[in-house]
Structure 1
Amino acid sequence: MSRRRTSWMVAILMVSCLMLAACAGQATEKPANTHKVLHEAGATNVPDHPKRVVALEFSFVDALDELGIEPVGIAQENKDDVSGLLGKKISFTEVGTRQQPNLEVISSLKPDLIIGDFNRHKGIYKQLQQIAPTIILKSRNATYQENIDSFKRIAEAVGQTDKMNQRLQLHEERLAAAKQQVDPNDQRQIMVGVFRSDSLTAHGETSFDGELLERMGIDNAITKTAEPTVTITLEQIVKWDPDVIFMAEADPKLLDEWKKNPLWNQITAVKTGEVYEVNRDLWTRYRGLDAAEQIVDEAIQLLNQKNK
């Protein structure tokens, strides 16, 4: 065999060995670190420490803030929704409204995690999954405990369970301290209502604020309802007859009409002057840990001022 041919064969063998080694290296190359997160729409593998998170509900924004994470994209309806929620301004891109997230804008942000609401976004889960790993959790029309569970799941997803445990411990301590201010002999029953000209909505005992206040020993007059929040009539309010009404939103014209209506004036809360206007965003939209603590403090303060 000629020396030239031998050299050529050696070269071929060396190239082949290099290619095999490269293939072996690719086969054993460790994939990006991910972990499986169970959620309301199934299970999703998400990065261990996602950096670019899109949040499509306010309580998720609050949860991420508690965990030290600033979302790159947030759904909101009004320009000051997020600053009102967090009490500070942060830098983010608006990705449409919570009702109608803009998938094109979300995709342009190149997120590595999207957090959607079960009530609003389960129908577009597959589309969101095509953009980035997505988890679907409960927030809107969910109970207080379900929102707490969602906070835990978010912490698991973003790898911040230590911060979660610390914050939940502080939360429990604050609620326990607040509960000490509730008179155990107070038998008054409350109702949280959103009163618009076109609809009346009551937050029952299984709503976020309803269940939260029940845990504090503050009973809800709206019980045994099919859903946490229910559409009602003035006649039904009279039937439930709450001792205290927290108005999260009230149409002025509607209230003026009701003041002239004998039914409205039959309600115990109206007769005793215990109808209080409260902030709708805080009481019905935010649903985070900080919001829960503020709701409890305000409710107890308003209830106790009547007892003084």
Structure 2
Amino acid sequence: MKTGKKLKIVSVMTILSILLVLAGCGAKQDSTNKESSNNQKVAVKHELGTTKVPENPKRIVVLELSFVDALHGLGIKPVGIADDNKKDMIEQLVNGKMKYTSVGTRQQPNLEVVSSLKPDLIIADVQRHKAIYKDLQQIAPTIELNSRESTYEENIDAFKTIAKATGENKKAEERLNKHEETIAELKKEVKEENGQTILPAVVRDTSFQAHTSASYDGGFLENLGFKDAVQSKEAYAEMNLEQLSDINPDILILANNEGKLLTDEWKSNPLWKNLKAVKNHKVFVVDRNLWTRFRGVVSSEAIGKDTVKLLHDQQK
């Protein structure tokens, strides 16, 4: 072989070697950049402090129903939900089927199942899950927000926090603008009833639990233009028929338990018959899940629409 040809072959091989090295460096650099991006954190303030969560988390576990509502409003599907082992309840909440893993009850979520899902974000309720916050943090970054005892305003704040934690601030802003427009339209629909006293309550076999102005549904109804018949800093108030008679609301909204109800015993009592809401046919039985369990931007709009329908149907 001639020397010239040898030199050409060596030169080609050298160039190829350099290109391969550069390509390898580029690939390594891309990998490093990608890894760096995936490792970026967002500091999220919540009820128990500040937690650094991954940017744009993909595997989210939620331990309260209002957080399902919030993610649904943002177009995000959680991988795990504390659904009280009632998949039909979640289907009702999101208005359709959704694939996820149940992590047990809201009161006592199964931490082994939560861990098995390898979440990169856990959203928990500060009232229910404060005691297991450290356990949850050992599984994945966790934020604890107001849900079970939240007011309507606190629920909106929680929605904004969840949006920040999931990297969906812009989508949240758009959704809240739409929410305000919806509420404004609903207010017009119930304009004739504005200022009337209203009392949402949960009725069980041995109790009548009034939801006050500090409750989620009570606060939301006030936002629509009604006045909660029980003004209080406490969200709930147990009362008997005599106390209900003294308050005498214009409208009664009853979210009944299944089975025997305390109000069944009251219906033959003159105090019940003389209630303004009873005499004016403004006692309405509503869905317990929607009115007292779900809570959230999407669910509150459904409550508002339900209120309009109930009142308008009653007038026909």
TM-score by length of 2: 0.84
What is the one-letter code of the residue matched to 2:82? A
The farther-off stretch of 210-219 and 144-153 is 210-219
CA distances 1:35-59 after superposition (whole Å, capped 9, x unpaired): 1100001110000111110000111
Out of 98, 101, 114, the position equivalent to 1:106 is: 114
Displacement of 1:263 after TM fit?
2.4
The equivalent of 1:18 in structure 2 is none
The farther-off stretch of 247-256 and 32-41 is 247-256
Out of 20, 36, 57, the position equivalent to 1:50 is: 57
Displacement of 1:300 after TM fit?
2.3
CA distances 1:55-90 after superposition (whole Å, capped 9, x unpaired): 001110111122221111100122311111001111
What is the one-letter code of the residue matched to 2:131? G
Question: How many residues were matched structurally?
Answer: 280
Out of 67, 76, 90, the position equivalent to 1:69 is: 76
Does the 8 Å CA contact 2:207/2:262 hold for their aligned counterparts?
no
The equivalent of 2:191 in structure 1 is 183
CA, structure 1 residues 54+186, in 2 after alignment: closer, same or farther (shift >3 Å)? closer
**Is 2:290 aligned against 1:275?**
no
CA, structure 1 residues 58+185, in 2 after alignment: closer, same or farther (shift >3 Å)? closer
CA, structure 1 residues 264+185, in 2 after alignment: closer, same or farther (shift >3 Å)? closer
Structure 2, unaligned runs of 5 or more: 1-31
CA, structure 1 residues 36+253, in 2 after alignment: closer, same or farther (shift >3 Å)? closer
3-state SS of paired residue (2:72): helix
CA distances 1:6-52 after superposition (whole Å, capped 9, x unpaired): xxxxxxxxxxxxxxxxxxxx9xx958100110000111000011111
Please identify runs of 4+ aligned residues in structure 1 that moved more than 6 A. none
**Is 2:224 aligned against 1:216?**
yes
The farther-off stretch of 243-252 and 171-180 is 243-252
The equivalent of 1:232 in structure 2 is 239
> Mapping of 1:1-308 within 5 angstroms?
30=36, 32-77=39-84, 78-183=86-191, 186-223=194-231, 225-250=232-257, 251-307=259-315
3-state SS of paired residue (2:83): coil
Structure 1 vs Structure 2: percent identity of aligned residues?
49
CA, structure 1 residues 306+79, in 2 after alignment: closer, same or farther (shift >3 Å)? closer
Partner Cα separation in structure 1 for residue 193 and residue 206 of structure 2: 37
Partner Cα separation in structure 2 for residue 52 and residue 248 of structure 1: 34
3-state SS of paired residue (2:304): helix
Displacement of 1:257 after TM fit?
1.4
CA distances 1:139-178 after superposition (whole Å, capped 9, x unpaired): 1121101000000000000101111011001101111111
CA, structure 1 residues 131+182, in 2 after alignment: closer, same or farther (shift >3 Å)? same
Partner Cα separation in structure 1 for residue 40 and residue 195 of structure 2: 54
What is the one-letter code of the residue matched to 1:236? Q
Does the 8 Å CA contact 1:122/1:136 hold for their aligned counterparts?
yes
3-state SS of paired residue (2:302): helix
Displacement of 1:231 after TM fit?
2.1
Partner Cα separation in structure 2 for residue 146 and residue 226 of structure 1: 14
CA distances 1:234-282 after superposition (whole Å, capped 9, x unpaired): 2221121111111111554533311122222232111222111111111
Does the 8 Å CA contact 1:141/1:229 hold for their aligned counterparts?
no
Does the 8 Å CA contact 1:184/1:217 hold for their aligned counterparts?
no
| CA-based RMSD | 1.8
What is the one-letter code of the residue matched to 1:234? L
Partner Cα separation in structure 2 for residue 72 and residue 253 of structure 1: 37
TM-score by length of 1: 0.86
CA distances 1:112-153 after superposition (whole Å, capped 9, x unpaired): 100001111111111111110000001112110100000000
Does the 8 Å CA contact 2:214/2:233 hold for their aligned counterparts?
no
Partner Cα separation in structure 2 for residue 92 and residue 114 of structure 1: 14
What is the one-letter code of the residue matched to 2:207? S
Partner Cα separation in structure 2 for residue 254 and residue 285 of structure 1: 21
